[in-house]
Amino acid sequence: MTEFSWKIGGEAGYGIMTSGLIFGKAFVKSGLFAFDTNEYPSLIRGGHNTYTVRVCDEPIFSHSKKIDILVALTKLAVEKHKDEISENGFIIFDQSVFSVSNEEVRDDINLVPIPLTEIATKSGGQAIMRNNVAIGASFALVDYNFEHLVDTINGIFGGKKGEDIAKTNINVAREGYNYVERNFPKFLRSIKISAKKFAKRMYIIGNEAISLGAIRAGCKFYSAYPMTPASSILHFLSSKENDYNIIVKQTEDEIAAIHMAIGASFAGVRSMTGTSGGGFSLMTEALGLAALTETPLVVVLAQRPGPSTGMPTHTEQGDLKFAINASNGEFPRVVVAPGDANECFYETFNAFNIAEKYQIPVIVLTDKFLAESHSTIDPFLSKQLKIDRGMLLTDEKAKQIKDYKRYENTATGVSYRSIPSQIAMFKAATDEHDEYGRLSEEQSDRITQMDKRFRKFKVLESEIDGIKIYGDDDADITIISWGSTKGPILEAMKIFAKKGVKVCFIQVLYLMPFPTTKMKLLIEKRKNKIIIENNKTAQLASLIKEHTGMDIDYKILKYDGRPFTPEDIYEKIDEVLTFAKL
């Protein structure tokens, strides 16, 4: 396996995010695999931004702790990231603006001073294009075909209005490439990675995959108030309104967003809303409205650190119990936590089917790391997916029903659902009701309707597999986790494999209903059980204890607003097990 990691750092407004995307896409276009992640402060302008891209000739699922090439557009980028640079790694920096010496970093680090700003302006561009000069220089360092970069820049900036912009960006990047070839020949091919046979793959973030899953599921209404890290769903779907006949509504707040989505679903169209923790807090009362009226609803909850506004542009897994218990009272809801872009697509599609089939809210639980990180994946197998609208009445069927009971007490807990304009009319209100929807405070009606709603879980539990298993059955170590930790864990397992250590990874995909029986069978006889979570209180471990009565041996928790790296996981597990043996 051949790979390297590249990071660009500088102020907001320096084109950091665009640069990272161009760099990763260029390698994916040539048949390689890339994974990227970004970091930025909650500021409109300024502050330190980074974009990290890992490139490999084999499939990868996460970024890495160490970087081989640092592109520093500011001196602060050098100061912040010098300790992340691998042995004999490189720093490309803007010689036009500042200087760097080995005394400031390490003796083994190779310094590549380039007048990035000067090259950009002298090549017919603007100072802001210094980032593309640096990209070209980076391509030279890894001895990679410059034409792959040309194709990518044309793809991003091309078109009738962007031809001149694309041409200028290509020119400045070429000058950066040539500058390294002329001035640093000893560094060429220090990092070597070769293109592979072209394969049709996507380079996609989790939020784009969620959006595509919603489109494939037939979503026709999306309402949201912008909130990082869910906002890119709003942006992506709004760009596809005309292509897929979707109404996308930016509302005045999150309360309006969820009520509009509920209203659209009540009217008979598939709908979704999305937000983060603070916005979801505002949505919780309406979540109960959807539950009581048995109106299908899909909600994307993209987590970020709390409480309150917390760290708006960073990542965490602190909302698991919140999602499971949100709103007052008791009612069935599904909580699914995708672990990668593939699962974002397929589980969002499934969420719409589950929501309609069982007439319940479904929460797709993600986070900033998964929502905004690009990964290289194969095209989705969308043709095999089938939309299931459950017991939604057709006009013909509605006409045939003589005594329509919207909330009929059925064996499965699911009743026929009619929509406005059909003859099968009923009352829908926010209070408890009888089978017809008429408000009732009778004990018998309350018990009947509560039991009816929860009876849905009995059927649902038999239809979904809440757990995925990776690795060896006879493992020395069993990792249990959920959500976006999946990628770093899979990469950490590769490190353990090189050391001859067998590892099993139990990924809990559906947190509600909790896969109690399967979890018991999987963990009761395993040794060295370790929970890994991006939160302070080990919320999954708490759920396992609640549902199975079993304790997990060890907990590895991270709650600094940053995702795990594979190296973090390997080192922490090694540390925990070494300490346990003492």
Give per-residue pLDDT as tens, 6-61. 999 999 888 899 999 999 999 999 999 999 999 999 887 779 999 999 999 999 99
DSSP track, 512-557:
ES--HHHHHHHHTT-SSEEEEESSSS-HHHHHHHHHH-PPPSEEEE
- Taking the C-alpha atoms of residue 416 and residue 117, their distance in angstroms, rounded to an integer, is 66
Q: Which two tokens stand for residue 131?
A: 């980032």
State the average pLDDT for the chain: 95
Residue 582: the pLDDT is 45
pTM of the model: 0.96
Q: Give 491's DSSP letter.
A: H
DSSP track, 81-139:
HGGGEEEEEEEEEETTT----TTTS-TTSEEEEE-HHHHHHHTT--GGGHHHHHHHHHH
Task: Assign 539 a pLDDT band (cuts: 50, 70, 90).
Answer: very high
**Strand partners for 51:** 8, 38
Flag whether pLDDT at 189 surpasses 80. Answer: no
Amino acid at 67: I
Q: Which domains does the chain have, with CATH numbers?
A: 3-192 (3.40.920.10), 204-378 (3.40.50.970), 395-463 (no CATH), 467-581 (3.40.50.920)
Q: Do residues 538 and 529 touch, judged by C-beta distance below 8 A?
A: no
Q: Which two tokens stand for residue 84?
A: 């992340």
Residue 46: the pLDDT is 79
Q: In Å, what is the CA distance from 403 to each residue of 351, 399, 400?
A: 31, 11, 9
Span 334-338, mean pLDDT? 98
124 or 209, greater pLDDT: 209
